[in-house]
Amino acid sequence: MNQTLIDLVKMKIKTLQYEDLFWLAAKDIIFFSENDPQGWRACILLSDVYGYACADAEPILPEQAREVRNAYEKWKWSGVIAWVALKRNQEPLEEYRTPEYFVAKELLNLHVL
């Protein structure tokens, strides 16, 4: 493959990653924070999911946005929580441990999505 084609493919992949980030932002799943030394950062809003009266967020990279989007499209908020739980190796509060959460967590862990 010539370098121009490789560069075009890389640019298309990056464009799709940012498209997924903005799709997640439109659904209020993520927000953009400027509290990062490298500039802005995308974060999943998780307040009161892992602790009561707790402001919490999980940063995600653009290349992770498709995984989070797929989890949301398949299992809604339970899928997002399951994705974060696997990333953190931490369980959410009991009320978020629904049957959908456990299905999502198991399938995401097996990389079935």
pLDDT digits (tens, 9 = 90+) for 21-78: 999 999 999 999 887 777 888 999 999 999 999 899 999 999 999 999 999 999 999 9
Q: Has residue 102 got a pLDDT over 70?
A: yes
The residue ranking higher by pLDDT, 57 or 8, is: 57
Evaluate if residue 97 carries a pLDDT over 80: yes
Query: 88, 90, 70, 87: which is closest to 79 by C-alpha?
Result: 70
- Spans of all domains in the chain: 3-109
CA–CA gap between residue 104 and residue 53 (Å, rounded): 25
Contact present, 113 and 70 (Cβ < 8 Å): yes
CA 88 to chain centre: 12
In the chain, DSSP finds a helix count (H) and a strand count (E) of 4, 3
Q: With 70 as the cut, is the pLDDT of residue 7 above it?
A: no
Does residue 93 have a pLDDT over 60? yes
pTM for the model stands at: 0.84
